[in-house]
Amino acid sequence: MGQTITKGVFELVAEANEIVEEISTEEALSLYGKKGIKFVDLRDIRELQREGRVPGAFHCPRGMLEFWVDPKSPYAKAIFQEDLTFVLFCGGGLRSALAGRAIVEMGMENVKHIRGGFAAWCELGGVVEKE
């Protein structure tokens, strides 16, 4: 007999959205390029190569986020130690919700994620650069 999943991914995302601020694509577009705001792209490198990237966004693969955020980690990245508002996004807004929850629970403040992710960004005409 297989595993019994008692809480699905959409339930986890709904719970995450109670902890991390989910913003609309319109709000993300209004924040883009502003001082003190850093967009963080959580997508896999293959997604960036295939679909393009948001210029100026910091790329952090989802699997490394907690390690790069923690200043005591041997993998810590200086960008996450700065006093910035971090706007996370992934392909569709699910991974960024879960990632946002994780780093808020680690103690980070000023964390948001984009509802609909990169797909919604593109749909509303957000700037994208291709390789």
pLDDT score recorded for residue 120: 98
In a domain, 105, yes or no: yes
In a domain, 102, yes or no: yes
pLDDT score recorded for residue 1: 75
Residue 124 CA to residue 131 CA, distance in Å, equals 21
Which residues span the domain enclosing 116? 19-123
* pLDDT for 128 beyond 90: yes
Total of domains in the chain: 1
- Cβ atoms of 19 and 103 closer than 8 Å: no
In a domain, 69, yes or no: yes
In a domain, 51, yes or no: yes
Q: Quick one: how far is CA 70 from the chain centroid?
A: 16
Vertex 98: Cα angle to 92 and 102 (nearest 5) = 145
In a domain, 46, yes or no: yes
pLDDT tens for 39-78 read: 999 999 999 999 999 999 999 999 999 999 999 999 999 9
Mean per-residue pLDDT over the chain, rounded: 97
pLDDT tens for 98-119 read: 999 999 999 999 999 999 999 9
In a domain, 4, yes or no: no
In a domain, 91, yes or no: yes
* pLDDT for 131 beyond 80: no
In a domain, 13, yes or no: no
- The CATH number for 29's domain is 3.40.250.10
Three-state DSSP state, 97? helix
